[in-house]
């Protein structure tokens, strides 16, 4: 049997065992060393098999902790005031977020239009990944008016929360003005960030948040891993803000 056939056979065996309930949702799989001993192969072959299971969305790795069986898709309500942390906690999972970029640059035309800014106005750009129980749920890019929120980057770094950062900037509350959802296929870089297979389905959300006076405060684009989230409509409008 070739090495390729070996890792495929191991992945199929583990997949079947997960399907039969040998490993439940959230359970940790045996270590690479234990699996290598069980199947009488080297650890490189086991890593190949586990990577295939991860690409299928059956498992996810937590750095320093091991490989775990992926749980049920996160039920995520779309509403005017739903925040990411609240939605994930309501689903019984632990939310977290990693910022990969906090930058300042001139707004692109569609961003300026969404935020009611003059062409070329400066904006803060915030990018990162939102996670539920350590598994990437969504990648996001949020854009904020830099002229109004000069200290927003510092507040983000100190709090790790867009909601808290906006509150420190004088916006105690905000709601969703509009949301547009489209289905896409994950391109290589997005697939890498979400730990899904290239071409896997993602849900792309484009939305605008406004303050109580109706002034736009955030223009955001979010890419949800299609097999890890179930979006539900709750009330008017939509909100999947990465708070």
> Is pLDDT of 242 > 70?
no
pLDDT band per the 50, 70, 90 thresholds, residue 4: low
> Is pLDDT of 91 > 90?
no
197-203: average pLDDT:
85
Of 70-79, 86-95, 129-138, 168-177, which one has max mean pLDDT? 168-177
The predicted structure's pLDDT at residue 72: 66
Neighbours of 202 (CB within 10 A): 26
The predicted structure's pLDDT at residue 183: 93
Q: How far apart (Å, rounded) are the C-alpha atoms in residues 28 and 48?
A: 17
pLDDT single digits (tens) 109-165 = 999 999 999 999 999 999 999 988 777 889 999 999 999 999 999 999 998 888 899
Q: Residue 243, class by beta-carbon neighbours within 10 Å (0-12 exposed, 13-18 middle, 19+ buried)?
A: buried
The predicted structure's pLDDT at residue 49: 93
* Domain assignments of the chain as residue spans, ordered by start: 3-69, 74-233
> Is pLDDT of 176 > 60?
yes
Q: How far apart (Å, rounded) are the C-alpha atoms in residues 145 and 127?
A: 15
Q: How far apart (Å, rounded) are the C-alpha atoms in residues 228 and 18?
A: 17
pLDDT single digits (tens) 26-42 = 789 999 999 999 999 99
Q: Which fold has domain 74-233?
A: Chorismate lyase (3.40.1410)
* Sequence-separated (6 or more) residues with CB below 8 Å from residue 235: 79, 80
Angle ∠(140,143,149) on CA atoms, nearest 5: 135
Task: Identify the residue with better confidence: 135 or 52.
Answer: 52
220-240: average pLDDT:
72
> Is pLDDT of 93 > 50?
yes
The predicted structure's pLDDT at residue 62: 80
Q: How far apart (Å, rounded) are the C-alpha atoms in residues 90 and 79?
A: 14
The predicted structure's pLDDT at residue 33: 95
> Is pLDDT of 20 > 80?
no
For the domain spanning 3-69, the CATH number is 1.10.10.10
């Amino acid at each position: 049997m070739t090495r390729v056939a070996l890792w495929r056979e191991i992945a199929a065996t583990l997949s079947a065992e997960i399907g039969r309930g040998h490993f439940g949702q959230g359970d940790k799989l045996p270590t690479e060393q234990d699996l290598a001993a069980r199947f009488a192969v080297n650890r490189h072959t086991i890593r190949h098999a586990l990577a295939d299971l991860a690409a299928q969305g059956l498992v996810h790795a937590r750095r320093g902790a091991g490989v775990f069986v992926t749980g049920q898709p996160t039920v995520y309500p779309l509403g005017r005031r739903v925040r990411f942390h609240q939605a994930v906690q309501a689903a019984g999972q632990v939310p977290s977020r990693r910022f990969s970029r906090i930058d300042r640059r001139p707004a692109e035309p569609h961003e300026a239009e969404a935020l009611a800014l003059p062409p070329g106005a400066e904006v803060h750009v915030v990018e990162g990944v939102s996670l539920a129980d350590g598994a990437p749920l969504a990648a996001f890019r949020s854009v904020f008016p830099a002229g109004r929120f000069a200290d927003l980057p510092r507040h983000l770094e100190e709090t790790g929360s867009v909601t808290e950062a906006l509150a420190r900037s004088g916006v105690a509350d905000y709601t969703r003005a509009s949301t547009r959802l489209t289905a896409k296929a994950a391109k290589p870089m997005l697939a890498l960030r979400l730990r899904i297979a290239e071409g896997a389905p993602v849900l792309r959300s484009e939305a605008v948040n406004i303050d109580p006076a109706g002034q736009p405060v955030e223009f955001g684009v979010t890419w949800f891993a299609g097999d890890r989230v179930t979006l539900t409509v709750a009330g008017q409008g939509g909100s999947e803000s990465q708070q």
